[in-house]
Structure 1
């Protein structure tokens, strides 16, 4: 653990500012002199403790994280007077110790650290009463008041990416003590916590040690598979009886049949994440008495299981990801080669801002995106498209399009090939391989167009005419062949939806979106289950454990792996079943079925 010793800058320098609000501060009992007043130097021994990360959806209790999740590289201590006006800061770190094995359950406190702070230039009017502790944010500067400092926006994610240290701050909770609840995101400091000389052995007198509880600004998410969802020897999961259209017939229709397909999970990631975080967890006074929040106010464990995020009460502006950016591993560990976790800012909101007609909008909440591929039994990805609700193999769909338009307005463009059975040259009308799908820039729909790349290179094309009862092939220029196919597409006006796909599974790529649930469960109105505040959301210092229990349907197709995915409310055909736990890190468990 890195030792930091950048000591307190003098309180005397700011005594003038503090005097305005601290004039009423007097010795705590009778004529007893406050420690340090005689020589202007007081000592404060603190013990840093982690208010352990928590899991929700179902309450999984507390669980310790891995060692690096609570390492401290920098500790700052910001002091404020009784009115919450900033009076000074210290920066000291003398190390710490783990509290239990990583991953063990039952401990609310994950680690402890001992620190001795030196306050110089103290006077009766410059004694601080509140302490806000910030870890691993060395560049952070306080505001002039405690409230403004607690509400300072912090992009902890950049700090973690650059340094691999998690930003932490004093934990927030109500305990029905007026002095504490006035600034619930800070530690109340009593004059008795100060000494006029360093206290070297705090184990002898724990009352002399100020206990400080901190929590990470990050929420943690993990995805695993349950015992009932097991792959075959090739790492594939079977989905039975999926209806996929086959090769087109001569009338321009398609044959449809049920077949077993397989799913291969790739990586997963988070979508719909908040772009920043408050430094301190923000709470509502009304939560003290309102369910379920009152039950989530755990003063014994120095924490609260809900929060007002930076998007709380708004139509949230969130960050999204693409398929190619999914990087966490299902059933993964903390090993960099098999990384199984993802972290994000807390994202909470009121129910009306995240749902429509009592259905959660996965684009308005933080969701897990499970990346996958649909395959055949050998694990080879299947290129599929969904057209008018029906799944096709992509080449079969494009051939279907060519047959339909050709039946309506026949075109005359062929390629040649040598039939190996009789070694004769034969001719084949341009088929679906000369078409492709593109994303329309305006409508964003997937539409069929001529694939000009297929006409590139030294290829020979022909038109076929009948002369004296015989078919005669005449060489056709590349441009004329391409024009013949294009004109045929343009002439077809019977049903323009023929050229539009609902979705495409390029190289079998697809995703399952799982909105992350919190601990509230759901309300009941009559016989209807309703979304309430706290049904969905991610809260700092909680560990959300998503367990995949069942896999029965295909996910949502991915056309281009670099396109940003903004998940939409899925139809039943995309239903995914999962269980979520949140953790010391407080654990939240959530099970889902896909």
Structure 2
């Protein structure tokens, strides 16, 4: 089994202290020297920690320089606020203003990997700064030059600058102190403000402003257990047929479209720090010693009172531009823009949801949980081909149509008054279709993407085959015409019902990404914090094996590979792969998965 690590942000501006988000209305004090002030800022990056060394069991992992540069600070915007948390000024530092060095012997307990300092000159209009926030590699600087209460609600739709192709965006971490006060901004004292650049340059110790930064991105890696990270083929026999599943790639699904710029804890939901702490008590979520926390509230955290499929689709047909999350197609993971081979790493926005989403009672759970999706194809008796599953039987396409003919035979008869069956069925009589409405039940929940039925291909084909329609045993058989064609097909749907299609043998396995929450064995409900992606965490998923082959672990089939994937929510939630998932801080979160289980 592979060991994976979670890692904390590799580039940090280390903050010794921060203050509560509570508002104040204290008088604003002018500084003596008027327009300009100088401060010295220390920039630090964390080194890897050891699970054995940490009493809370956390693992840390360095950011990389290649193949993706996760570490570089290309620029830092320092924003200053007065005692009432109102914006008073800012300064933008370039990478040339901060020289990074290895190690930091002054703060060994912080696992510092690299550090650097810079002196900043800032115009503050003669007002004494009380707080500061830092934004590294900002996507936009315009809407963060505001008061703190406005900044903390800013939304971002990317985690890197330059249209998500540049440097990783970071800002100072958010956490609660031991008294339960939230720390978002860094306090600035009079001893940290200087009247000249030369004076600021000589500052040491507590006279230097130190801030921890954490990346906005989350990071996911999915690998097989083999040395080359590949996932072994799955082979077995089902319904007396030899099957082999070949993995062709993986990708992320149900990813967030937006996230908060600064980490948010919505106290309208949590109500208070004690209640939040109790809610997340199953894991070590708040870490004031390291000036960080390991959970957050995303913009779409709350569960709607009545889901109609608009916000969170039940099925693929309901996905629109208004859906809360991004749902990608099978083809895009198979060979398109979302294709990744096992061993690859993908970055994404923070995405957490209320634990009410992942309870067994939520019948659209899998459309609300961000997941890694493993895609590939089955071979049946050595050939990649379309097949169908119905009542724990596997049918190839023509055999499936003949079986549907047997079922529909009480209503479709030939001119000799013989019920339609597998013997008198003629080619091209049926088309295989995905209906847009269930034959009964709640229409708002739609029809699962790979559920199909049959219908007559056309009036002409039915007439050419000599097929008549008999509505019931008390009526005479009639010719199929344009006038009754729709009613006949509706009756066929009612009688034949729905089966599962695996077009071209395509199937996928949905693996909801686990966070750090721990649910006790046999618990009635799933613990808060059990699923989701939190910024600056690395989720390392290792597929260790396949579950025993069965119809329950076969994976989800595909009817139209260009339709968005909305995994069905099955109370049994069989995943079909064994996988080990770990969350690294650039904090490591491990997860091991048995595909199909």
**Superimposed CA distance per residue, residues 365-390 of structure 1 (whole angstroms, 9 cap, x where no aligned partner):** 21221112112475x42311122443
Instruction: Using the TM superposition, give the Cα deviation of residue 434 of structure 1 relative to its aligned residue in structure 2, in angstroms.
Output: 5.0
Aligned residue number for residue 511 of structure 1 = 508
User: What secondary structure sits across from 1:281 in the alignment?
Assistant: coil
User: Tell me, what secondary structure is at the counterpart of 2:59?
Assistant: strand
Match of 2:128 in 1: 127
Where does residue 90 of structure 1 map in the other structure? 91
Equivalent in the alignment of 1:481: 464
Please say if residues 390 and 500 of structure 2, whose CA atoms lie closer than 8 Å, have aligned partners that are also in contact. Answer: yes
The aligned length equals 491
Deviation per residue, 1:118-176 (Å, 9 max, x gap): 023653xx121111112232344226420221111111258464433322211111224
Q: Which one of 347, 372, 393 corresponds to residue 390 of structure 1?
A: 393
The reply to whether residue 271 of structure 1 matches residue 247 of structure 2 is no
Please give the alpha-carbon distance, in whole angstroms, between the structure 2 residues aligned to 1:502 and 1:555: 14
Question: Relative to 1, partners in 2 of residues 1:312 and 1:382: Cα closer, same or farther, differing over 3 Å?
Answer: same
Separation (CA, whole Å) in 2 of partners of 1:388 and 1:229: 38
Matches within 5 A, 1:530-545: 530-545=525-540
Equivalent residue number for residue 212 of structure 1? 211
* Deviation (angstroms), 1:85: 0.9
Post-superposition offset of 1:84? 0.9
**Higher Rg:** 1
* Match of residue 286 from structure 1: 273
- CA-CA distance at 1:303 after TM superposition: 0.9
Q: Identify if the C-alpha distance between structure 1 residues 66 and 515 changes in structure 2 by more than 3 Å, giving closer, same or farther.
A: same
* Alpha-carbon spacing, 1:446–1:95, altered in 2? closer, same or farther (3 Å): farther
SS of 1:352's equivalent? Answer: helix
Question: Is the contact between residue 202 and residue 209 of structure 1 (CA under 8 Å) also seen in structure 2?
Answer: no
**Secondary structure of 2:508's aligned partner:** strand
After superposition, the Cα gap between the structure-2 partners of 1:491 and 1:307, relative to the gap in structure 1 and judged at 3 Å, is: closer
**Which structure 1 segments of 5+ residues have no match?**
1-19, 27-33, 101-105, 244-256, 333-339, 414-427, 456-476
Structure-to-structure mapping, 1:89-108, within 5 angstroms: 89-93=90-94, 94-95=97-98, 97=100
**Cα separation, 2, equivalents of 1:584 and 1:150:** 22
Give the TM-score normalised by structure 2: 0.71
Where does residue 295 of structure 1 map in the other structure? 284
Q: Deviation at 1:505?
A: 0.9
Correspondence 1:63 to 2:61 = yes
Question: Which among 329, 343, 353 is matched to residue 340 of structure 2?
Answer: 329
Under a length normalisation based on structure 1, what TM-score does the superposition of the two structures give?
A: 0.71
Give the CA deviation at 1:328. Answer: 4.2
Whether the aligned pair in 1 keeps the contact of 2:143 and 2:154 (CA below 8 Å) is no
Q: CA RMSD in A?
A: 4.0
From the superposition, tell whether residues 483 and 132 of structure 1 become closer, same or farther in structure 2 (CA, over 3 Å).
farther
Tell me: CA distance 1:52–1:175, structure 2 relative to 1, closer, same or farther (3 Å). farther
**What does the per-residue CA deviation read over 1:241-266, in whole Å, with 9 as the maximum and x for residues that have no partner?**
222xxxxxxxxxxxxx2x33111112
Q: Map Cα deviations across residues 378-415 of structure 1 (whole Å, 9 max, x no partner).
A: 5x4231112244332223212333455569755479xx
Distance 1:321 1:226 in 2: 26
Shift of residue 591 of structure 1? Answer: 0.9
Question: Paired residue for 1:448?
Answer: 454
Q: Report the Cα offset of residue 89 of structure 1.
A: 1.4
Contact 1:398 / 1:432 at 8 angstroms: preserved in 2?
no
- Among 40, 45, 49, the residue aligned to 2:40: 45
Aligned twin of 1:474: none
For residues 308-323 of structure 1, the aligned pairs below 5 Å read 308-315=297-304, 317=312, 318-319=324-325, 320-323=327-330
Contact 1:238 1:260 in 2 (8 A): no
The 1:557–1:99 alpha-carbon spacing in structure 2 relative to 1, beyond 3 Å, is: farther
* 8 Å Cα contact 2:250-2:372 kept in structure 1: yes
Distance across 1 between alignment mates of 2:82 and 2:225? 52
Deviation sequence 1:454-473 (CA, Å, 0-9, x none): x9xxxxxxxxxxxxxxxxxx
- Indicate conservation of the 8 Å contact 2:42/2:210, yes or no: yes
Deviation (angstroms), 1:555: 0.7
Measure the CA separation in 2 of the matches of 1:432 and 1:53: 65
2:366 counterpart SS class: coil
After superposition, where does 1:248-263 map in structure 2 within 5 Å?
Answer: 257=240, 259-263=241-245
Return the offset for 1:343.
2.3
Q: Which residue of 1 aligns with 2:186?
A: 187
Shift of the alpha carbon at 1:573?
5.7
Shift, 1:345, TM fit? 2.2
The residue matched to 1:362 in structure 2 has which SS?
Answer: helix
**Which runs of 5 or more structure 2 residues have no equivalent in the other structure?**
1-23, 104-108, 305-310, 313-323, 417-422, 439-446, 470-478, 548-552
Deviations 1:342-379 (A, max 9, x none): 2222222332233234899222221221112112475x
Equivalents in 2 of 1:167, 1:409: separation in Å?
A: 64
SS at match of 1:353: helix
Residue in structure 1 matched with residue 4 of structure 2 by the alignment: none
Q: 1:134 is paired with a residue of what secondary structure? A: strand
Local SS of the residue matching 1:82: coil
CA distance 1:171–1:574, shift in 2 (3 Å) = closer
CA distance in 1, matches of 2:238, 2:211: 57
Contact residue 543 and residue 587 of structure 1 kept, 8 A:
yes
Task: Give distance in 1, aligned partners of 2:154 and 2:48.
Answer: 22
Check whether the contact 2:540–2:590 (CA below 8 A) recurs between aligned residues: yes
Corresponding residue of 1:423: none
